[in-house]
Structure 1
Amino acid sequence: MNILYQSPKIIIREFLPQEQQTFLSLFKDNEVTKYLPDTSPERYIEMFNELLENYEKKNLSRWAIFNAIDNDFIGMCVARIFVHNTNQIEIGYVLSRDYWGKGIATEVCNAIMHYSFENTDKKEVVAITDLDNIGSQNVLQKVGFKRLNNLIRNEEELAYFMIERF
C-alpha cells in the first residue's frame, strides 16, 4: 500500500481493492455530494476500478484519506490532468460530514497540491468548485490558490482557482 502523505491527523494512501464499499459509502450522503456533478452509482464503481488501474500504472489518481489516530475513513482526494487545459493538474477532495470544519480539507488540499508539483512537471495546479461552495473556496485561498475568472463547464458556471509552482 502506497502512502502519499501522513501527519499526526491524517493518512492519504491508495485504496485497497477490498475497500470499494468504503469508497462508495462516501457518496451516499446528499450533503456530501451537494456540490459534486450528478453521477450515477455505476459511475462511482467505474471510478473505483479506474483508480486501482491508475495505481498499477503509477498515474495520477484518487486516494483514500483516513484518520491517523483511529483509522476512520475520512474521504478521498484526487489529482488528475485538467480536462480543460492538459498543462495543468486539477485537484479535489470529498470529505465525510463528520470531518467538516476541522482543518482536514486545508491539510488535504495542501498535501495533494504539493504531491502534484513533486510528481509531475506541470507548473500549475487548479481546482474548481460550485459557486455556492464557499467552504471549499476559502480552503483553496487559505492554501494559496488565486481565484480566476469563473469557468463554464457543461453550461454550468464554476469558481476556478490556480496556484503556480513555487
Structure 2
Amino acid sequence: MNSKSDKFPILETKRLLLRNIINEDAKNILHYMSDEDVMQYYGLAPFKSLDDAFEEISWYQTLLNKKTGIRWGITLKEKGIIIGSCGFHNIVSQHFRTEIGFELSKEMWGKGIAFEAVEAITNYGFTHMSFQRVEALIEPPNLSSQRLVEKLGFMREGLLRNYEFTCGEFCDLYMYSLLKQDFDKTD
C-alpha cells in the first residue's frame, strides 16, 4: 500500500464515519454477520458466536499488517456503532490493483449507505493508495451489489466460472473493474 501515512485513515462522508474495526465491535459484527441474508454472498456461513466475529476482526488486522488490504468499519456519524464494513483485499502492489468488498446490516439496506461507503473508499484508493484498477467479484444472483458497483462506474468484464469454492460449493463470479482514468472522468 502506498498510503501516505501508517496511521489508519478515517474517512468521513455526509452521513458516515469509516474507521478502524476493533475487538469492541465484535458484538455488532456478530449481529449482522449472523444474518443469513447478509451472509448469502459473503463466502462464509453465518456467524454463530463472538469467536467468529473476533476471527473476522483478526483477518482485517492481518490484511493491514501484511499490507494486502484494509477494511473500514461503516458507522453512522450520530451512532458510532459498526453497521457493516468495506475495504480492499488482495492488493497486488506491483500491478497497482486490488479487489473491493463490502457488507451491510440488513436494517440499513436500501438507504444508500453501502453506496456512500464504497464510493468513499474507492475515491481513497485511487487518490491515496495509487491504485490503477479496482476489481469487484460478485456472484451472478447478487443483483444489488452489481447495481451498486455499476452505479459507481464499474464495468462487467466477464464471468469467472467455478472461481471460488465457498460453503461447500463452487461459485461463478462476475468480474467487474473500475480504472483510475474512468473514475477520474466521473469526478
What is the TM-score normalised by the length of structure 1? 0.84
What is the identity, as a one-letter code, of the residue corresponding to 2:128?
Answer: N
- Number of residue pairs the alignment of both structures matches: 165
Trace 1:5-154 onto structure 2 (pairs within 5 A): 5-39=11-45, 41=47, 44-55=53-64, 60-81=69-90, 87-152=96-161, 153-154=163-164
Q: Are the equivalent residues in 2 in contact too, given 1:126–1:163 (CA < 8 A)? A: yes
Unaligned runs of 5+ in 1: none
DSSP-derived class of the 2:10 partner: strand
Following superposition, the deviation at residue 4 of structure 1 comes to 2.8
What is the identity, as a one-letter code, of the residue corresponding to 2:103?
Answer: V
Unaligned runs of 5+ in 2: 1-6, 165-169, 182-187
What corresponds to 1:4 in structure 2?
Answer: 10
What is the identity, as a one-letter code, of the residue corresponding to 1:4?
Answer: I
What is the TM-score normalised by the length of structure 2? 0.76
Greater Cα offset, 51-60 or 32-41: 51-60
Q: Which has the larger radius of gyration?
A: 2
Q: How large is the Cα RMSD of the aligned pairs?
A: 2.6
Query: CA deviation digits over 1:76-109, x for unaligned, max 9?
Result: 11211258xx652101110001111111111111
Counterparts in 2 of 1:129 and 1:74: CA distance versus 1, 3 Å: same
Q: Are the equivalent residues in 2 in contact too, given 1:20–1:48 (CA < 8 A)? A: yes
Greater Cα offset, 4-13 or 48-57: 48-57
Query: CA deviation digits over 1:3-33, x for unaligned, max 9?
Result: 5311231111101232223223321111111
Greater Cα offset, 46-55 or 136-145: 46-55
